[in-house]
Amino acid sequence: MTSEKTMPPQIAAIQDCGFAIWSGDEVAEEFRSKFDPHRIPVKGIRQVRVWGLQVDDERELPGLERTSIPDEEIWEINLEAKDGSLYEVESRLLVAAEP
């Protein structure tokens, strides 16, 4: 179950629009070609928690007995490809499409 947190403005804009577009060139062209180049239908949005890591081993990390990587909250956007397939994509790769 995800926590009830406020949706960031850029995610809310995608939800309100109902369509997304790539925010940059970080996504491989082969994957991008599966989607409409101007308006990618959004079929869902979910918040995901990526659990962090804590290491407590002085032998492995002398002087740093406790090393932590914090938990991370990310938003996944469920996109519909041209063939009707659905793909989950990290929200930082997308922005709301122009109306």
Q: Is residue 89 part of a domain?
A: yes
The pLDDT of residue 11 is: 96
Q: Is 80 in contact with 43 (CB distance < 8 Å)?
A: yes
Number of domains in the chain: 1
pLDDT by residue (tens digit) across 75-99? 999 999 999 999 999 999 999 998 7
Domain residues for the domain of 59 are: 9-96
Cα(55)–Cα(27) distance, integer angstroms:
32
pLDDT by residue (tens digit) across 15-74? 999 999 999 999 999 999 999 999 999 999 999 887 777 666 556 555 655 667 777 889
The pLDDT of residue 80 is: 98
Using 50, 70 and 90 to split pLDDT, how confident is the model at 2? very low
Other Cβ atoms closer than 10 A to 72: 10
Q: Is residue 14 part of a domain?
A: yes
Q: Is residue 3 part of a domain?
A: no
Q: How many helices (H) and strands (E) does the chain have?
A: 2, 7
Cα distances from 32 to residues 25, 40, 81, in angstroms, run 9, 10, 9
